[in-house]
Structure 1
Amino acid sequence: METPRFIQGVYSFEGQGLERPVPLRPAIAYTVPPDRRAQLIYLRAGNSSAELVYLLLTRDGQPMRYFPIGARAALHVPLVIVEDIHPESVLELSVGAPEGVRGLATIDIGLAEI
């Protein structure tokens, strides 16, 4: 049976450079239960800053998806290509932003545990 999971909230960030993504505050992490797999279904996000930023979703410390968000903009990404995320995998979300840029990211991520 499929179980929906959501990661939602408003998170602050301060950019350390576009090549140095940093964790959002508070940090966002999700661990797939040991007896399940997960699939990323969609991501909606907003950026309050006046600069382009991107969200980086990592799986076990390795880049999985990049989501660029324009200045003072939002995006909705329904994921058409869905892959299984193995049991006990750890997903984390970071932000890349120009150095010194501060802002808020509004996050809504939908996952399915199967």
Structure 2
Amino acid sequence: MATGDQIKALIQAHYDQDNERFKTAALRMAASETRVGHTTLGREITAMVDASTRAKGNVINLANKGNLFLVSFPEVRLDDLVVSPEIAEKIDRILDEYRQRKRLASFGLSCRRKLLLEGTRARARL
């Protein structure tokens, strides 16, 4: 059975968003369970930590401290584009790929992630 200190360390690491300390605490709990004869539980905890590490990789918190990056939202929408029917069809296909990205991934494919549009923004004069 995990000790109270191990459980507290696990909870504190979670609230501090310290992934490395969380994994270490979980692995210590797994080792502790294995030592007292709960080998199946120890293996399951270890497998969960390993699977979590492989599946997600490292996540970096991008809090905007010190205005390191700029977030903006476009003023021009897709409906505002004036393009030929052929170009509109290509754009629709790319957007459809993006919407179906999970289905494509299930076949080992990826959607296009970059699109370069060139042109000028014309403003209507009244």
* TM-score, normalised with respect to structure 2: 0.20
* TM-score, normalised with respect to structure 1: 0.21
Structure label with greater radius of gyration: 2
Higher relative contact order (CA 8 A, sep 6+): 1
Q: Name the one with the larger helix percent.
A: 2
Q: Name the one with the larger strand percent.
A: 1
